[in-house]
């Protein structure tokens, strides 16, 4: 399996990448992650105004993840049948409507309904950004494009708390949802004017409920998909577990202020960005599977170190977290490229199932960090380490099972 991607990388090193197209795809991918974490600094104000506790406000993340995960299962195959453009633009408009509903919410139930509408809309942009990349590029160009997309998806949760904190302080939490909704409209206009339809009519496939289920079953039976997809999803789930647990670990445990937490989140972007851009170059020399496996090992070492550091020493905790993020940034683009490369005609379904697995692992990771009866830092470290270990075992076992690996 990895030989296919390695040969493609070697065969097409000069494929042209449009900076405008890359920027639009990165924006589509980042919007969902941005809308996930941008409201975290507003939880106290939102809870006070709506008469809810901070724990109740955490449901806004859970509902978002669940709707996001399930929505992708429909969006991917439908885009393989009807094309990408209608679903991307329509989804972004639905996302903006959901944002307006959140902005005017007067109860937790209304807010949760708005979050579900947001997730069902924005999931189309996120999942189809990868499918569009697969439509347009192959080989090294695909790996580089996916690296940028993965960096954008990882960077958005890092910067969004800082942006959300500023918006909440200056304009209030309702304005934050309004801003996010406007960003959805801007993204739709940019996509329509700069990218447009990328899935040619002759490549489209008829789709039915049974056909969609059959596609997903076929993908899950194919180790070329399951090996990298499960590994990437577990690592992404661990990343979101960190974002979910960070306020308790760093603010309560270590005494960071909201601004300091936002700055630390922003600092994670540098690590993810650097490792994500370096990964395709390393893959060209040593092969994507080997480099991806090395990234998983690095994430495992970092997660274990987070557990050992706990919340007693901020410098050690930060160093351990940096190691984990470097591993995550390495495996994410390569694992995604390995997942999608063999499935050009099923790029929508493959990307949708990958997104479903990622958001499911994110929901599981954030849930574990809130329910395990251990100190927050210990729970986070165990979650990072266990998810990384499972990713390594899955990746290695399936690699041995696949004849072409």
The domain ranges of the chain are 2-401
From CA 330, how far away is CA 340, in angstroms rounded?
A: 17
Q: Structure pTM?
A: 0.74
Is the Cβ–Cβ distance between 380 and 310 less than 8 Å? no
Q: What is the pLDDT of residue 54?
A: 57
Q: Residue 222's Cα: distance from chain center in Å?
A: 22
In degrees, to the nearest 5, what angle opens at C-alpha 299 toward C-alphas 349 and 133?
30
Q: 355-367 burial, b if ≥16 CB within 10 A, otherwise e?
A: bbbbbbbbbbbbb
Written as six digits, the tokens of 155 are: 């960077």
C-alpha 360/C-alpha 233 separation (Å) is 8
Alpha carbon dihedral 298, 302, 308, 313, in 10-degree steps, equals 140
Are the C-beta atoms of residues 151 and 254 closer than 8 Å to each other?
A: no
- Strand, coil or helix: what is 139? helix
Please identify which residue in the block is written with the tokens 């579900």.
116
Q: Which residue has the tokens 């697969």?
A: 134
DSSP 8-state assignment for residue 373: S
Measured between alpha carbons, how far is 232 from 209 in angstroms, rounded to an integer? 27
Per-residue pLDDT in tens (0 to 9) along the chain, 405 residues? 445 444 443 444 444 557 788 888 888 888 888 888 788 777 777 878 888 765 566 677 778 888 888 888 888 777 777 788 889 999 999 999 999 999 999 888 899 999 999 999 998 888 788 778 877 777 667 777 777 776 677 677 777 878 887 888 788 889 999 999 999 999 999 998 888 787 666 666 666 667 778 878 888 888 888 888 999 999 989 988 887 777 778 777 787 776 777 778 777 778 887 887 788 788 888 888 888 899 999 999 999 998 888 666 788 888 899 999 999 988 888 888 888 777 766 766 787 788 889 888 988 887 887 778 888 788 888 999 999 999 999 988 755 544 443
Q: Which pLDDT belongs to residue 120?
A: 92
Alpha carbons 227 and 241: distance in angstroms, whole number: 22
Spatial distance between the Cα atoms of 397 and 138, rounded to a whole number of angstroms: 27
CA dihedral angle for residue 151, residue 157, residue 161, residue 163, rounded to 10 degrees? 50
Closest CA to 2 of 361, 349, 288: 288
| Fold classified for 2-401 | Growth Hormone; Chain: A; (1.20.1250)
| CB contact set of 289 (below 8 Å; sequence gap of 6+) | 1, 2, 338, 399, 405
Structure tokens at 44: 């106290």
């Amino acid at each position: 399996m990895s030989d296919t991607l390695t040969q493609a990388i070697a065969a097409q090193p000069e494929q042209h990448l449009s900076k405008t197209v890359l920027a639009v795809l990165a924006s589509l991918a980042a919007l969902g992650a941005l809308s996930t974490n941008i409201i975290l600094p507003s939880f106290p104000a939102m809870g006070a105004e709506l008469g809810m506790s901070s724990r109740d406000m955490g449901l806004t993340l859970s509902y978002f993840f669940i709707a996001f995960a399930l929505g992708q299962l429909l969006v991917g195959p439908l885009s393989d049948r009807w094309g990408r453009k209608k679903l991307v633009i329509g989804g972004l408009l639905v996302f903006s409507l959901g944002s307006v509903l959140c902005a005017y919410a007067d109860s937790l139930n209304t807010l949760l309904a708005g979050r579900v509408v947001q997730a069902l809309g924005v999931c189309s942009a996120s999942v189809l950004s990868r499918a569009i990349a697969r439509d347009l590029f192959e080989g090294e160009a695909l790996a580089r494009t996916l690296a940028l997309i993965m960096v954008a998806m990882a960077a958005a949760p890092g910067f969004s708390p800082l942006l959300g904190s500023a918006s909440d302080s200056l304009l209030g939490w309702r304005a934050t949802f309004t801003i996010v909704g406007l960003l959805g409209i801007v993204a739709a206009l940019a996509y329509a004017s700069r990218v447009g339809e990328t899935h040619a009519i002759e490549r489209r496939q008829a789709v039915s409920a049974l056909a969609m289920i059959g596609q997903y079953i076929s993908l899950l039976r194919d180790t070329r998909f399951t090996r990298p997809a499960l590994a990437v999803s577990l690592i992404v789930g661990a990343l979101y577990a960190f974002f979910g647990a960070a306020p308790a670990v760093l603010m309560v445990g270590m005494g960071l202020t909201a601004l300091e937490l936002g700055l630390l989140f922003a600092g994670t972007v540098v690590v993810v960005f650097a490792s994500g851009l370096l990964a395709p170059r390393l893959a060209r020399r040593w092969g994507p599977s080997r480099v991806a496996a090395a990234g998983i090992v690095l994430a495992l070492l970092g997660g274990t170190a987070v557990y050992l550091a706990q919340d007693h020493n901020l410098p050690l905790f930060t160093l351990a977290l940096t190691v984990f993020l470097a591993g995550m940034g390495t495996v994410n683009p390569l694992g995604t490229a390995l997942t999608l490369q063999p499935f050009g005609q099923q790029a929508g379904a493959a990307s949708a199932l990958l997104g479903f697995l990622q958001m499911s692992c994110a929901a599981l990771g954030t849930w574990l960090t809130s329910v395990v009866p251990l100190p927050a830092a210990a729970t986070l470290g165990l979650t990072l380490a266990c998810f990384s270990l499972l990713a390594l075992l899955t990746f290695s076992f399936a690699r041995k099972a696949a004849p072409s690996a």
